[in-house]
Each structure stands twice: as structure tokens, then as C-alpha cells.
Structure 1
Amino acid sequence: MEWGLRALAPLVHLLIPLSIHWVAEEMTVSVLVDITTNALCPGKSTCSQAIYITGLQQTVVGIFKMVVLPILGQLADEYGRKPLLLLTVSTSIFPFDVVEGSKRAAAFGCITGLFSASHVLGNLLALFLPEDYIFKVSICLLVCSTVYMQIFLVETIRTEQRPHQHMPCLSMILGVFQDRLNSMKDTVAVVIRSEILKRIALVSFFYELGMSGITTVLLYYLKSAFGFSKNQFSEILMMVGIGSIFSQIVVLPLINPLLGEKGVLCISLIASITYGLLYGLAWAPWVPYLSASFGVIYVLVKPSTYAVISKATNSVDQGKAQGLVAGVQSVASFISPLAMSPLTSLFLSTNAPFHCKGFSIVCASISMVISLYHAWLLKPEQLSNYDPQEDEHIEAPLLS
């Protein structure tokens, strides 16, 4: 743990403003449901328009992940990390340029914990601040994080003049898409050769399809089914955040040597399925709190997924494999709201074919059952017998 914190020393002036940004972002989540519902459907606890708007937002985010992030990466290479960070306040461009390669895993673990801690603090502020002040405080924090970056953050990329730099924007964008296409061809070739990577791609797709669907509609469902407001939302989100910190710092280091990556992944997926089913079939207001407690385990799905990928690929192909899984997850997060929004609106309305307000969440849980099926078919001996010297001839990275 101390080694991981030492690895973060070069990132202090990045992590301070990002933590402030994460707090400001999270503290508005629980109150947005009440505000959106009251604005579009005054006096009602169920609002299909609000659900559709949230689904549209998630779809746009999915498109952004698939299309725009590669362009931002290229722009960051052309014009530097700092300008793009100031524009997007995003962690996807900068963080590890100044961390030694051998320390990046430890740094990533600490950053993940810091992200969870920021979310807990954001929900804590939302719980105790009056609703009228939440957005004002959030805006102040966002401004402070941007100003801090502008003053203290040092650029890590030397923007030397290159022949293709400052080319017309359209030409650059087309070039980026061509590069992505070529890189994806290499990535598909890597995955096709590995049964484990094909299987883990399916695990990631169906898990993200279910979990992103639940996340999209969950708070609106709880408001309609049990009359929850921002205080209950903040409590539930805090439980998940605190559980996430506990599991990554305490639980994962203890159970991973005993169960292995496949064991941790399967147990995490079972917890995810239980999490979804308890929400979807909740029969009393205390059941969602019980469901949230499974956040201690289900948050380990992604770390264990990437651990499997890391063991199943050599160092040259790490970027390709990790990038493919990220792409698969982006596609799932794009598709999920398209199905979840109308299904949730139908079963929360008076026109539902049968009484089960959480039916859409139950359906999302079935998607995670499919993910568990594919995870169960993973063969640990293939991981332990993998030869890292194989396929070293492929050198083109997925992400530039």
C-alpha cells in the first residue's frame, strides 16, 4: 500500500483536482432524479419522460466512448495532455505518463480506491446539504478543480512540430478512424487466437449489458416503487462506495490467492446477479439496502476480468486485449438503455401486462447469468500454462 502511494507522488497535482471533480459530480446524482421527475411530471413519483431522457443520456455516453475518445487521445498527442484535461476533466488521457511502468498497477489500484472514496464523500455531502445548495456547491467545486489544474498541473508531452500536426480537422479525424480500424484488425487477430480472450469478451459484454441497464433505471424505479428521495439514494450509493473501498483494499488481496482469478470472477458475478434480483423483486423498502450490501463483492468483477486478460496475454498484446474489452463494454452500455428505458417505463406504468415494477431489472440480471455461464467455462489451466513469449511479433498498440 505504501509503495502504491509512493507511486502516486508524480500525480498529486492531477489527483487533487480530479478528486474534487469526482466529489462534485457524484453529489448531484441522487438529487437529479427528484429534480428531473418534478420538472417533467410534477406531483408524480413515476415519470416515463425522465426515464427516457436518462436512457438517451446513457446512449450518448456510449456513442462518445466508442467514437470520440479515440479522437481525444489523438488530440492529446498533438496538443498536449493538459489542454484536453482542462476541456474534458477526464482521467482517460493523462494519468500514467509520469509513473514508472513497474508501478502502474499499484498506482491504478490506489486511484480506483480514491475514486470510490470521492464518490462516498460526494454522496455524504448530498445527504446533509439542502437540495437548493447541492448544485451551487457542485459548480464551485468544479470551478476550483479546473482552476487548480490550470495553475499547478504540468504538461508531460512536448508538442514538437511534426509534418502532420495542425492538419485540417476533418483530415485528422479521418486519419484517427483509419488508425482505429487498423488497430482493431490487429486486436481481433489477437483475440481469435485465444479461447480465453474470446470467452472473457463475452463475459464483459453480458455483464456490462446487465449492470449498465440496472444503473440507468435504478433510482427512478426506487422512487416509483418505494417513494425514495435523495436521502435514501445517497445512503444506498454510499453503501456501494464504502463496500467498494473495503473489498478492493481488504477482500480482494485475501481471496485472490485462495480462489484464483476465475473463482473471484464467478463469485463476483453471482453477487451481481443477487444484487439485481433483490432490486427487481424487492418487496419492502429495506430490501434495496440489503441489495446494495452486495456491492462489497460485485465491484470485483472488473478487476478480476482485467486480471484474467493480463494473465492470458503477453506484454505486447496487453493494450490490444484491454482495449478490446473496453470497446465491448462501450457497445453494451450503448445498447442497454435502448431496451431498458421502454421496458422500465412500461412496467412502472398502469399499463403493465403484470405486476412487477422491477421486471426490467430482473431481465438485466438474466444478462449477467449469461455472463456467469461464460465465466464458468474459463479454464484456469490455460492461464497458468500460457507462454508469454508467444505472438511477440505483433507490435502495433491499440491505443496511441
Structure 2
Amino acid sequence: MEEIWKLSHLLVTLFLYTFATMMIVPAITDVTMSALCPGQDECSLAIYLTGFQHAVMGIGALLMMPLLGNLSDKLGRKTLLTIPMILTVVPLGILGYGRSRNLFYVYFVLKCVTSIVCEGSVQCLAVAYAADNVPEHRRASAFGLLSAVGSSAFVCGTLCARFLSISSTFQVAAFTAAVAVVYMKIFLADSVAECIISAPLLSGENVESVSSDPVSLKKEQIITTLPSIKDLFALLNISLTFSLAAIVAFFGNLADVGLYASLLTSNVLMNFNRVACLGQSLLLMPILIPALGENRLLSIGLFFNCIHMLLYSFAWADWVVYVAPMFSTLFIFWRPCLQSIVSKQVGASEQGKAQGCISGISSFAHVVSPLVFSPLTALFLSQNAPFYFPGFSIMCAGSIAMIAFVQSIMIRDPSKANSCSHVEA
């Protein structure tokens, strides 16, 4: 009962946060254009700034996700969740106050800075929190529920934005993000003890020999918690399963973002996420996981993801927009299954670090993908295409999804790694 209670508060927090951040998606393009290039249909400055922002977000997430996850293992999930959730409110509040050119530049700078910490971190820490409070055999279902809540928040947020003015959209988004912080601080219980003195982090030393001052000890332990590049590579080499999971995460996200960049249709995204909410229901995950296993369901999901993309590439008809997303009832499972497999490769004190590593790799794929697929899509939709194939970029995305599928086949039944193979903080 306590497990369900904790998870319910996490779901409400995640829904409110995602709802707030997704509300601005339909409006941010218009705000950017009106602030930088008023009265113009095209704006190269807006394109360059958006590309720069995405690059900063992806590279920052690659570096910060393992750090935040690692710190959450020591300081508690709730403590680390507070940081990105508070930082998210600030840029939203600026555009809620005004959208002049100067205010937009202030928003842009703050957004770039805060995104280094905020981009993907709430979802990553939410997965680690769920892993702390859910038994191994039910983690895939719990992670699937988190994805379903995120998808439903996306749909609700974007739909709500269509009934609000631009100024009201950012004001409501900032208010909702603030409510998410307050709700989380009041109701969400921490899953990792705030006191970290019980487990010395310095190899070969005991707590008493480090320092007799608890404050100094805590500072020193936090410093030794910070992962280096060597630590991250060691984490990737913790097991073959973890390494394959990292490869699947990169290529799977590379293909997914490539599909979105190639379609360029918000209605498709809406239909996709609406069906995703149904596919992630509590009814299917508990049935399929015991019957097929997480590794098989991961491969099945990636296979249908590939088929889904290839269908888009070869059939550019109106009905494809409505039929192809129906495959999401199967391929949407690959993310929670991958997260569950990763969670079983490390111990309870390393969930944040492991999920942060995978989230960082996924976020980096989100940067690389548009740089590759957006120009490729523009080329094959133009008059200068080497040959006539409007869906060529989508077919390339499907081929990348096939790489992820092949790698997933090599993943064996997930099992917790031995404690001696765990990476020391």
C-alpha cells in the first residue's frame, strides 16, 4: 500500500511538470518569430538560435544526467528533483510576464543555462525513484505507467494551449510548474535517506578517519560522489547487458527523433502520443511482461518501431497518418523495458547513476538526430533531390531503428549484477 501511495504522488508530480513544459510547445515558435523577426515568414536567426539551444541542451544533458543521478543516489531523489523543477519555472515566468525582444533574449539565455540541468532530468530521477520503491518483477509496468503519464500530459498540455492566448499559455505553464514543485515538496516522500554518513565513499577509509565533523564529512563525500569520464566508461563496462542497453538507447532515440524531424506534423505527434497512452495502460504491461519477458518485449517493440517507420517512408497517403500510429500499442513498450533491464544491472545505491547514464546518452541522440535528418528531409523534399523518394529520410530512421533491434536481440534475460561488479561512486 505504501508503494502505491508513493508512486501515485510521483505520477501527479510528473504529470503536472510535463503538462507545464509541454503547454508552450505550440506557442514557442510564434513567440520566437514575433520577437526576433516580426512580420516575416522566415527567420534564419530563429533557426540558428534554436539549433544552438538544442545543441546546448543535448551536450549539457549528456554531461549532467549521470552527475544528477549519481548525486541522487547519495542525497535522495526528492532533493535532486527540486533543483530542475524550480529552475523550470523561471524561463516560463519570464515569457508569462512579457514577450518583447529583450525579454525573449533573457528567456533564451536562461533557458539554455537551465536546460543543462533540467532537460530530461525530472524523467530520469522519476525512473530512479520508481526503481527504489517497486520490486524488480513489477518495474517494467511501473516504468510503462510513467511513460503513459508523460504521454497523456503531453496531449493534455498541447490541447490546453490551443484554447488559451499566448500570454495566458505561459502564465498557466509557469503556475502549473510552480504547483508541481509545491506538491512534490509536500507529498512526495524521499526514497533514499538524506543522511549519507552510513556508507563511506572513500575506498579503504572508515568514516571516523575521514573527519569528525559531519558537515565537513558530507561535503567531502559529495565531492567524491562526482563522476569522472573514467567512471562513466566503467559504468558502461559494468556488464555486456548494460553496454548493449546503452547502444539500444542511442540508436532507438536517434531513430525516434529522426522520424519526428522528418514528419514535421504536429497532428501526427498528437495521434502518436494519444495511442501511446492507451498502449501504456496497466492492462497490457502486467500481461505481456510475465508472458514474454522484458528482453523479448524490448525486441518486439523495436521491431514494430522499425516497421512503423518504414510504413511511413513508402506510403505517403492520408490514411497512413492514422494507421501507422496504431503500431505504438506494441513499440511504445521498448523504453520502459529498457529502463527495467538497466535497473536490474546495478544495486539499489546506483539506480540514479545508471538511469542518468542512459538518459544522458538518449538526450545526446536527441541533438544528433535533427542535425542529420532535418537537412536530409529538406533535400529529398526539394527539387534538387538526387532521386525521387520523399520518404527517404524516414526510411533511414527505420534502418537505424533496425540497428537498435539487432542489438536488443543480443540482450539476455535481465538479472541483477553481482555486488562486486558494481561501480564505486
Give me the TM-score of the superposition, normalised by structure 1: 0.72
Give 1:237-256 correspondences, 5 Å limit.
237-249=269-281, 250-256=283-289
Q: Distance in 1 between matches of 2:392 and 2:405?
A: 20
Distance 1:99 1:209 in 2: 25
Kept in 2, the 8 Å contact 1:190–1:317? The answer is: no
Over 3 Å counting, the alpha-carbon distance change for 1:210 and 1:113 in structure 2 is closer
Separation in 2, partners of 1:4, 1:95: 14
Question: Is the CA contact (8 Å cut-off) linking 1:247 and 1:297 kept in structure 2?
Answer: yes
Distance 1:102 1:151 in 2: 19
Instruction: Give the 3 Å change call, closer, same or farther, for CA 367–74 of structure 1 in structure 2.
Output: closer
Q: Which of 200, 210, 228 is matched with 2:255 structurally?
A: 210
1:114 alignment partner in structure 2: 149
Q: 1:31 Cα shift?
A: 5.3
Which amino acid in 2 is paired with 1:358?
G
User: Of 370, 375, 378, which aligns to 1:345?
Assistant: 378
Task: In structure 1, give the amino acid aligned to 2:419.
Answer: E
Separation in 2 of the partners of 1:354 and 1:47? Answer: 29
Separation in 2 of the partners of 1:320 and 1:83? 17
Give the distance between the partners of 1:151 and 1:324, measured in 2 at CA.
27
Q: Is structure 2 residue 18 aligned with structure 1 residue 22?
A: yes
Aligned to 1:190: 238
Name the CA shift for 1:165/1:319 in 2 (closer, same or farther; >3 Å). Answer: closer
| Residue identity opposite 1:64 in structure 2 | G
C-alpha displacement at 1:268, in angstroms?
Answer: 0.8
Match of residue 142 from structure 1: 174
Q: Secondary structure at the match of 2:293?
A: helix
User: Residue 290 of structure 1: CA displacement?
Assistant: 1.8
In structure 2, the partner of 1:88 is: 88
Counterpart position of 2:132? 101
Maintained 8 Å contact 2:144/2:336: no
Distance 1:33 1:359 in 2: 26
Query: Does residue 404 of structure 2 align to residue 371 of structure 1?
Result: yes
d(CA) in 2 for partners of 1:97, 1:324: 12
CA distance in 2, matches of 1:313, 1:55: 35
Distance 1:31 1:239 in 2: 19
How far 1:269 moved relative to its partner?
A: 1.0
Name the residue aligned to 2:420: 393
**Secondary structure of 2:59's partner?**
helix
Give the 3 Å change call, closer, same or farther, for CA 395–267 of structure 1 in structure 2.
closer
Q: TM-score under structure 2 normalisation?
A: 0.68
Q: Structure 1, residues 149-176: CA drift from partner, whole Å, max 9, x if none?
A: 3588249658998338899xxxx9xx68
Which residue of structure 2 lines up, in the alignment, with residue 228 of structure 1? none
RMSD: 4.2
Shift of 1:363: 0.9
d(CA) in 1 for partners of 2:15, 2:160: 14
Distance 1:162 1:210, change over 3 A: same
Distance 1:309 1:205 in 2: 14
Give the Å deviation of 1:374.
Answer: 1.8
Count of matched residue pairs: 362
* CA positional deviation for 1:63: 0.9
Structure 2 match to 1:199:
244
Deviation per CA, 1:62-84, whole angstroms, max 9, x where unpaired? Answer: 11211244565688859954355
1:240-279 equivalences under 5 Å are 240-249=272-281, 250-279=283-312
User: Structure 1 regions of 5+ residues with no counterpart?
Assistant: 223-232
Check 1:201–1:358 CA distance in 2 against 1; reply closer, same or farther (3 A cut).
same
* Aligned partner (choices 313, 316, 320) of residue 283 of structure 1: 316
Contact 1:19–1:118 (CA under 8 A) maintained in structure 2:
yes
Residue 15 to residue 376, structure 1, CA distance change in 2 (3 Å): closer
Residue 272 of structure 1, CA deviation: 1.0
AA aligned opposite 1:120: V
What is the aligned counterpart of 2:361 among 328, 341, 348?
A: 328
User: Bigger CA drift: 309-318 or 204-213?
Assistant: 309-318
Report the residue type matching 2:58 in the other structure. G
Provide the C-alpha distance between the structure 2 equivalents of 1:152 and 1:373, rounded to a whole number of angstroms: 40
Deviation at 1:145, TM superposition (A): 2.9
Asked if the contact 2:24–2:173 (Cα under 8 Å) also holds between the matched residues in 1, the reply is: no
Displacement of 1:302 after TM fit? 0.9
Q: Percent identity?
A: 28
CA offsets, 1:83-141, max 9 Å, x none? 553123652586589889343747655443322221221233245x26xx155224323
Q: CA deviation at 1:292?
A: 2.2
Q: Which moved more, 1:321-330 or 1:111-120?
A: 321-330
Post-superposition Cα deviations, 1:156-204, rounded to whole Å, max 9, x if no partner, equal 658998338899xxxx9xx68963334324314413xx3x333333222
Aligned pair partner of 2:216 in 151, 163, 179: 163
| 8 Å Cα contact 2:308-2:324 kept in structure 1 | yes
